[in-house]
Amino acid sequence: MKTLTQERLKELFHYNPSTGVFTWKVNRKGSTKTGDIAGTKNAYGYIQISIDCKIYYGHRLAFLYMEGYLPEHDIDHINRIKDDNSWNNLRHVSRSCNIRNCPMSSRNKSGITGVYKKKIHKWYTYITFEGKREYLGIFENKRDAAQARWEAEVKYGFPNCNTTSSAFQFLQSEVTE
């Protein structure tokens, strides 16, 4: 099987960097016609496009189309919307950086990643870095726990990856109130 090239991709598709949508430039057997939107959303919410009997993610194809290469590492959707493949929403990052930009767990009750309250009414905080959980302390109030979390995020370079730190947002909201 041949490696997909930028030339082959541009022969088959038009990519709109503003919308992130790929459209077919050629008619294909069956129901696909020139101008049709290419790809389907998979079970995880990402756009997949079949080219020459191989399936590719739309966000990876955007890099091939715009930059001429398929990225070695992860592609991060900055706004966390998995099917938004607009060019200004995509960035080539390491796996650890991509993981740092994950949405907050649905089980989180504090509204701040890595901060939780125990039955003894104290706030516990932690950060996970390079696969290891580091406990940052136990605090009397949520603000101090958020501050400890934010300082750890800065220490480990999270602001370079995480576009919306819940600890930072919490601290900012207290300043504006």
As averages over each run of 10 residues, the pLDDT of the chain (177 residues) reads 89 97 90 91 96 95 96 90 96 83 83 89 90 92 94 85 79 75
CA distance 150 to 131: 18
- Determine the pLDDT at residue 25: 95
Inter-axis angle of helices 166-176 and 142-155, nearest 10: 130
- Determine the pLDDT at residue 47: 98
How long is the chain? 177
Non-local (6+) Cβ contacts of 35 within 8 A are 23, 24
What are the Cα distances from residue 73, in Å, to 97, 105, 121? Answer: 10, 24, 42
pTM listed for this prediction: 0.74
Q: Would you give the DSSP letter of residue 36?
A: P
- Determine the pLDDT at residue 28: 80
DSSP-based three-state secondary structure for 23: strand
* Domains of the chain by start residue, with CATH: 6-93 (3.90.75.20), 103-176 (3.30.730.10)
